Amino acid sequence: MSGYTPDEMMAVEASRRLADGMVCFVGIGLPSLAANLARRTHAPGCVLVYESGTIGSKPEELPLSIGDGELAETADAVVSVPEMFAYWLQGGRIDVGFLAAAQIDRQGNLNSTVIGPYEKPRVRLPGGGGAPEIAIGVRDVFVLLRHARRAFVSALDFTTSVGDNVRVVVTDLGILEPVAGELTLVAVHPGADPDQARAATGWELRVSDDLRETAPPTDAELTALRALRTKGAAA
């Protein structure tokens, strides 16, 4: 099982950062894939929280939406949406929050609101949803985002959420972490090189002096990952 896709590399690398017992606020798509992979491999006690109100969901298949019935049926508790945001997120009960966006800047600030001016956008994006308070309400924010110049920009068109708690950005080329307040390339995935990452970044990307190479997905990780991708996984 030598071949794997960039998305699989991203999901595997994100899942490795989740430890057993961590409580994760999970969005749909790659974050859901990563968190469920962690739960099925090295972190069976990882607690998956979906913003629709399900706490401790254990889905057999990946959901298409954050409110699929299986998330409620397999949850330890199902709470209302106001309770989710007030008691659990604002209450400081969540360790890790996954975020994605259309744009990121070097401080880890994210835009999921508009491309172009707010009043007359070229592209109206879905909007912040849970992101503004996830970004300040969890201990660690993990960002999953494919590397491209239109996404890694020197100035956001709109700041939807702030980057204060962003600890890692996993892309299809490598891993960025904040070093002295600026996202810095600290690892590249097998087959990628730092020049590719520089070329796909809209600011002058800092590269760590001791750049690492990410371990490729193991057979066990890929098997578990592919077993999950039977439905949805549209991201």
Partner 1 sequence: MAVVSLRDAVRELVRDGDVVALEGFTHLIPYAAGHELIRQGRRDLTLIRMTPDVLYDQLIGMGCARKLVFSWGGNPGVGPLHRLRDAVEHCWPLPLELEEHSHAGMAAAWVAGASRLPFGVLRGYRGGDLPARTRVATVTCPFTGEELAAVPAHRPDVGIVHAQQADRHGNVQLWGIVGVQKEAVLASARSIVTVEEIVDELQPRPNAVVLPSWVVDAVCLAPRGAHPSYAHGYYDRDNEFYVAWDPISRDRDRFLDWMRRHVLETADVGQYHASLEEAVVA
Q: Which of 51, 73, 133, 204 is catalytic?
A: 51
Q: How far is the CB of 118 from partner 1 (least distance, A)?
A: 6
Per the CB < 8 A criterion, the answer to whether 18 and 26 are in contact is no
Q: How far is the CB of 182 from partner 1 (least distance, A)?
A: 17
Q: How far is the CB of 68 from partner 1 (least distance, A)?
A: 6
| SS3 annotation, 139-165 | CEEEEECCCCCCCECCCCCCCCECCCC
Of the two residues 17 and 93, which places its CB atom closer to partner 1 in the complex? 93
Where do contacts with partner 1 occur on this chain (CB under 8 A)? 28-29, 51-54, 63-69, 71-72, 78, 80-82, 84-86, 89-90, 109, 113, 118, 121-133, 136-137, 158-162, 164, 231-232, 234-235
DSSP code string of 43-90: -TTPEEEETTTEES---SS--SSTT-HHHHHT-SEE--HHHIIIIIIT
Instruction: Enter the DSSP assignment of 42.
Output: T
Of the two residues 156 and 205, which places its CB atom closer to partner 1 in the complex? 156
Give the integer Cα–Cα distance in Å for 127 and 13: 27
Of the two residues 38 and 75, which places its CB atom closer to partner 1 in the complex? 75
133 labelled catalytic: no
Nearby residues of 77 by Cβ (< 8 Å), 6 or more positions away: 54, 55, 56
Q: How far is the CB of 100 from partner 1 (least distance, A)?
A: 12
Of the two residues 163 and 174, which places its CB atom closer to partner 1 in the complex? 163
User: Is the torsion defined by CA of 100, 105, 107, 113 positive or negative?
Assistant: negative
Residues assigned a catalytic role? 51
